[in-house]
Homo-oligomer: A and B are copies of this chain.
Amino acid sequence: MADVKTGPNPLFLREEELRQAMELLFFAYRDFTAVPDKILSKYGFGRAHRRVIYFVERYPGITVSELLGILQITKQSLSRVLSQLVREGFIVQHPGERDRRQRRLELTEKGRALEHELSENQRQLIARAYREAGAEAVEGFRQVMLGIMEEPDRQRFERREGQRSGGRR
């Protein structure tokens, strides 16, 4: 294959560096999602289901609109997978206490089991990468990834950067 070019010119190096970052994102994401994708197909589910399950386990009691805000898809798209997950007993909904229009989402036991099965490989990938790279590299990784993200969701990761704001979105 045509080789990855490398050169002494600092301007070029910078360009090369940026390109590399794009590819790192592409390859890491591709490999990161490959295994869960296979597991999901056993259940007749897809990536969309995985994301819903993930965020419901992450934020138990999350509302539909909050989930929409995270996934940034339309409610019709979400509805398709969510209602499937509810119908098949992976997720339960119950009305919000203060606002009974809301449907707060939670995983059932079955849902948690699936979530765990899906996360296992990813956990291992990350754990291995973290272990091999070391604590300092991990902090660098965090910083760069946060830098790539757009503002609104960065707050989700505030903490340990040194404050407590629990911001809305």
A39 within 8 A of B: no
- Bound Cα distance A26, B28 (Å): 11
Q: A1-B62, A29-B25, A62-B1 are in contact. Are A144 and B133 (CB under 8 A)?
A: yes
Nearest B residue (CB) for A24: B145
| This chain: copies in complex | 2
CA separation between A157 and B140, bound complex, in Å? 18
Closest partner residue, chain B, to A160 (CB atom): B6
Cross-chain contact B145 with A1 (CB below 8 angstroms): no
CB contacts (< 8 Å) of A130 on chain B: these are: 17-18, 21, 144, 147
Residue-wise interface mask of A (125-148) relative to B, using a CB-CB cutoff of 8 A (1 in contact, 0 not): 111111011101111111111111
Judging by beta carbons under 8 Å apart, are B148 and A129 in contact? yes
> Chain B residues near A157 (CB, 8 Å)?
4, 20, 23-24
Residues of B within 8 A of A122 (CB): 18, 22
Chain A interface size, under 10 / 10 to 19 / 20 to 34 / 35 or more: 35 or more
With A66-B1, A147-B132: A58-B19 Cβ-Cβ less than 8 Å = yes
Cβ-based interface call for A156 (8 A): yes
Partner of A132, one of B22, B25, B125, B169: B169
A125-B147, A137-B141 provided; 12 other pairs, C-beta below 8 A? A2-B59, A18-B126, A21-B141, A23-B157, A24-B145, A25-B28, A31-B150, A34-B150, A126-B148, A129-B145, A133-B143, A134-B143
Q: Which 5 A-B pairs have the closest CB atoms?
A: A140-B140, A129-B147, A137-B140, A141-B144, A133-B143
